[in-house]
Amino acid sequence: MVKKASKMGDYLRYALFDKYFKSQGCTTPECPPALDDRGGAHYLLSWYYAWGGSISKSGGWAWRIGSSASHGGYQNPLAAYALARVPAFKPASPTGARDWEISLGRQIEFYRWLQSSEGAIGGGASNGSAGRYGPYPAGTRTFYGLGYDEQPVYHDPPSNSWFGFQVWSMDRVAQYYFVTGDEKAKVILERWAAWVVGAVKFKGDDYAVPSTLQWSGQPQLDWSAKTQNFTLGDKAFNFGLHVKIKSWGNDAGVASATARTLAYYAAKSGDKKAQHVAKELLDRLWTKYRDAKGVSTPEARADYKRFNDPVYVPAGWTGKMPNGDPIDGTSTFLSIRTKYKQDPDWPKMKAFLSGGPPPKMAYHRFWAQSDIAIANATYGMLFPQDAPSGAGSKGTKGKKKGGP
C-alpha cells in the first residue's frame, strides 16, 4: 500500500502545474506554454487534477485535466513532507522527492501569505483571472506571479465562505507541525488558533463554532522568496486582509475537525487554551448529540428552497431522466428528481416548499461520523490522561442504551 501511495504521489505532481503548463503570471489566453520543464509549476495543490485512459488494449487513448487556481483549503503540507522526506514514501521518479520538497515550502508560504490580520486563511490564487487567463484587476497582489482570489473557482456560495475549509486544511498544517516542529508552521498556527479559540462559544451544555465567513481586502505583499514574512510578533502583518464571522453553527463534523486541529497544535505547542477548547467540543458533542446511529446535530436547512429552482435546458431540447421524469424548458431541480418524494421525510419538505418553516433533520453523514471518531481517538492519543468522553474507558460511563 505504501508503494501505491508513493506512486499516486508521483502522478499527483501534475497538480503542481498550471492547467496548460503556462508560466505563472499569465494574463492573456495567448500566453505560450512555459519553455522549460518546470516553468509552468506553481508547486501548490491546484483545485483539482484528474486523468484516465482506456481499459481495452485496442484503440488506446488517454486524457488529463487540471486547474490554474489553487485554494488554501486544498493544501496538504503533511503529504508533501512524507513524499519529500520519508524514505518509504519517496516517489520512484528521479525528481519526485525534489518536486514535493519545493511544494512543501511553497504550501507553507501560501498559508502565510493568505493569513488574514485576524488569523483565518484567505481564499487562494489563480494564474490569470476569470478562469481564462484574463488580466488581474488593478492592484491585485500576487504570490509568485499568481493573483489573489478570495473565492477561487466557484462563487455560489463563495468557495472560502465555509469555516469547514479552515479546520480541514489547518488540521493538516497542525499534523505537520506536530510531526516536524517547523517554526514557520507554528507562526501560522499560533495566530489561527488564537482566532478560533476566541470565536468558539460555549453556553450551558452546548457550543457554537463559526459557520459562514465574509472576506475583505487582500494580502499586503507581492509574495516571493525575497519578500516572505514569517515574523512571529508582526501584528501589522496583512493588515489589509480581513475576515468577519457572519454566522455560527453546531455542525458535528466541523466541530470535531476544529477540536482535532486544536489538539494537534496544543500537543506540540503546549497551548492550554487550545487544548481546553478541543476537549470541551468533543465532550459536548458526545454528551448532547449522541444517538443510536452516531453523533449528529439537527439542522434547519433553508437552502432547500432551491428545490424549486429552474434547470437550464436549451430551447427545443427535451428528454427523460432514467426514472422517466421529463426534461424540458419547464424543468426544476425537483421535477427531474421526483424520487425525493418517496423519502419518509418528504412531508416536511413539502410543507416547507409550500411556505412553512425550514425542515429540521439530523443527518448522519459518513464523513462526519468518521471525523468525530478520529477526533476523539486523536485527542485520547495526544492526551491519554485527559481523554474525552468519547474516547477510551471514560466514554463507557453513562452511555445511553442502544448508543454507538
> Which conformational region is residue 44 in: left (phi greater than 0), alpha (psi within -120 to 50 degrees), or beta?
beta
Residue 134 domain flag: yes
What grid cell was written down for 24?
A: 505563472
Same domain, 218 and 320: no
Residue 353 domain flag: yes
Could you list the residue range(s) of the whole structural domain that residue 217 is in? 2-249
CATH number at 318 reads 4.10.870.10
Digit-coded pLDDT (tens) for 333-358: 999 999 999 999 999 999 999 999 99
Strands (E), 180-240: 201-203, 206-217
What gap in Å lies between CA 320 and CA 16, rounded to an integer?
A: 40
Residue 379 buriedness (CB in 10 A; 0-12 / 13-18 / 19+): buried
Digit-coded pLDDT (tens) for 94-125: 999 999 999 999 999 999 999 999 999 999 99
Same domain, 232 and 320: no
Given a cut of 70, is residue 397 above it in pLDDT?
no
Given a cut of 60, is residue 142 above it in pLDDT?
yes
Same domain, 86 and 174: yes
Residue 299 domain flag: no
pLDDT of residue 232: 63
Same domain, 234 and 333: no
What grid cell was written down for 170?
A: 489547518
Residue 401 domain flag: no
Same domain, 60 and 203: yes
Same domain, 68 and 206: yes
Residue 403 binned pLDDT confidence (cut-offs 50, 70, 90):
very low
pLDDT of residue 401: 33
**The dihedral sign for the CA sequence 327, 330, 334, 338:** negative
Mean pLDDT, the chain, integer: 92
Report in angstroms the alpha-carbon separations of 388 from 28, 168, 282, 301, 391.
Answer: 54, 20, 6, 30, 6
Residue 264 domain flag: no
pLDDT of residue 380: 96
Same domain, 84 and 221: yes
Give the residue from 249, 283, 318 where a domain finishes.
249
Domain count for the chain, please give it: 2
Same domain, 236 and 325: no
Residue 270 domain flag: no
Give the residue from 203, 226, 249 where a domain finishes.
249
Instruction: List, as one string, the DSSP characters of 229-242.
Output: ---TT-TTTTTTEE
Helix orientation angle between 163-180 and 252-269, rounded to the nearest 10 degrees: 30
pLDDT of residue 394: 46
pLDDT of residue 306: 95
Same domain, 238 and 311: no
What grid cell was written down for 193?
A: 488558533
pLDDT of residue 145: 95
pLDDT of residue 392: 57
Q: Which runs of consecutive H residues, i.e. helices, occur in 354-394?
A: 366-382
Residue 290 domain flag: no
Sequence-distant (6+) residues with CB within 8 A of 45 are 15, 16, 70, 74, 75, 76, 103, 107
Residue 1 buriedness (CB in 10 A; 0-12 / 13-18 / 19+): exposed
pLDDT of residue 399: 41
The pTM assigned to this predicted structure is 0.87
Same domain, 113 and 32: yes
What grid cell was written down for 244?
A: 468577519
Residue 131 domain flag: yes
Given a cut of 60, is residue 233 above it in pLDDT?
yes
CATH number at 35 reads 1.50.10.10
State whether residue 291 is helix, strand or coil.
coil
Q: Are 189 and 177 in contact (CB under 8 A)?
A: yes
